């Protein structure tokens, strides 16, 4: 009753709930596997272990649902611009060819001051023994920038930036995804990005 035998069905169940919420609440007709993965990872809670022991952290379905629920605010409430997602190039939007960039600029709301901002990039790569198409994530606030998985050497189809102290506004967050390498000539890569701010990592 421990290990992957129990974690696999638990995480699979969380993915089903996320997919249903995307369809029912956010009105995303065909959410990609990359988007579900990015939501799940973005909501995970850091348990203080090295990446090779904890991955991106402990699954937290409530936090993973925050960007989905933000797409349809309750009556009288405004949606938070620093909470959201894109599913780029799967059903709509533009896939990235080699050296192309996708950029998204967000105003920092006063409510986010001092919070932890998490931005997660995920994509479904072509089959191969190693990463075929390599995308990279960069997040900028003011004159400071952080690269996805800074200091983590292995290429991966998931990158994340954790910004531990969001500055007071007015200001902007700029999220950039770059196609560093596309393995096949004339090919392009779809991707998903999720961003949200939390009170703790």
Domains assigned to the chain? 4-198 (2.60.120.380)
145-179: pLDDT as tens digits: 999 876 666 788 999 999 998 887 678 999 999 99
Q: How confident is the model at residue 133 (pLDDT cuts 50, 70, 90)?
A: very high
CA angle 158, 46, 119 (to 5 degrees): 40
CB within 8 Å of 83: residues ≥ 6 apart: 66, 67, 70, 195, 196, 197
pLDDT of residue 139: 96
pTM of the model: 0.92
């Amino acid at each position: 009753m421990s290990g992957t035998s129990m974690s696999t069905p638990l995480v699979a169940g969380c993915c089903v709930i996320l997919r249903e919420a995307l369809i029912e609440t956010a009105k995303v007709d065909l959410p990609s596997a990359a988007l579900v993965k990015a939501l799940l990872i973005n909501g995970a809670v850091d348990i203080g272990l090295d990446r090779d022991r904890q991955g991106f952290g402990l699954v937290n379905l409530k936090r993973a649902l925050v960007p989905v629920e933000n797409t349809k605010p309750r009556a009288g409430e405004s949606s938070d611009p620093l909470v959201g997602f894109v599913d780029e190039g799967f059903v709509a939007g533009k896939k990235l060819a080699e050296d192309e960039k996708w950029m998204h600029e967000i105003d920092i709301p006063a409510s986010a001051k001092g919070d932890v901002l998490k931005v997660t990039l995920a994509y479904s790569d072509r089959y191969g023994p190693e990463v075929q198409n390599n995308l990279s994530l960069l997040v900028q606030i003011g004159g400071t920038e952080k690269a996805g998985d800074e200091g983590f050497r292995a290429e991966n189809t998931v990158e994340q930036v954790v910004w531990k102290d969001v500055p007071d506004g007015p200001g902007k967050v700029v999220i950039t995804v770059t196609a560093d390498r596309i393995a096949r000539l004339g090919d392009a890569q779809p991707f998903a990005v999720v961003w949200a701010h939390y009170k703790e990592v």
